[in-house]
Amino acid sequence: MTPPGLARPVAAVLSAVPYDHPEARRLTNALHAEQTAMYGFADDPAATEPELFAPPNGLFLLARPDGHDEALACGGWHLVAPATVEIKRMYVAPAARGLALGSRVLRALERQAYEHGARRAILETGSRNLAALALYEHLGYRPIPPYAPGRNPLVNRAMAKQLTAA
């Protein structure tokens, strides 16, 4: 058994899909349900237009660990300003936590965004999502002032990272 906080990496296939792909919808709906249970509210993933994550100004990835037919992790980026992308809808299914899928998806998103000209990534996560906060900090994200209007800084944590060539 892997001690809490230590990932035991597994091989996985990452694939770019449209944001409205059935597996993307399944995972983003699971993310929404977890956030709603944790905070009492959450942004509805269905309110996001699929075009937001469409190339060349966005990308949405699914991760399928070896031996699994279903995707167990996802995430995407979209352009928010010249050379700046926002990372969104990062999620790892409970059954796959501790397998380093979140870091694999995030690193792939950063690499793809950099290849499309991005030099900075921003993101938001919940203040109670300690695993996500630890992952983002470990991968170089640092706190920044809130960038989304109306966000409660007691609930939401904004973070940013300078992107560099791999």
* Residue 123 counted as domain residue: yes
Determine the structural domain holding residue 148 and report its residue range: 12-162
Those residues whose C-beta lies under 8 Å from the C-beta of residue 30, and which sit 6 or more positions away, are 91, 93
Contact between 65 and 50 (Cβ < 8 Å):
no
Those residues whose C-beta lies under 8 Å from the C-beta of residue 40, and which sit 6 or more positions away, are none
* Distance of alpha carbon 43 from alpha carbon 8, whole angstroms: 31
Please give the pLDDT value at position 93.
97
Task: Quickly state the pLDDT bin for 3 (edges 50, 70, 90).
Answer: very low
Tell me the CATH number at 30.
Answer: 3.40.630.30
* Residue 125 counted as domain residue: yes
43-63 confidence digits (pLDDT tens): 999 999 999 999 999 999 999
- Pick from 64, 60, 57, 72: nearest CA to 17: 60
* Residue 2 counted as domain residue: no
At 143, give phi and psi (nearest 5°). Answer: -60, 145
Beta bridge partner(s), residue 86: 78, 122
122-142 confidence digits (pLDDT tens): 999 999 999 999 999 999 999
Number of independent structural domains in the chain: 1
Please give the pLDDT value at position 74.
98
Asked if pLDDT for residue 2 goes beyond 70, the answer is no
* Residue 107 counted as domain residue: yes
* Residue 1 counted as domain residue: no
**Which of the pair, 153 or 35, is modelled with greater confidence?**
35
pTM given for the model: 0.92
Beta bridge partner(s), residue 79: 85
Task: Quickly state the pLDDT bin for 7 (edges 50, 70, 90).
Answer: low
Please give the pLDDT value at position 122.
98
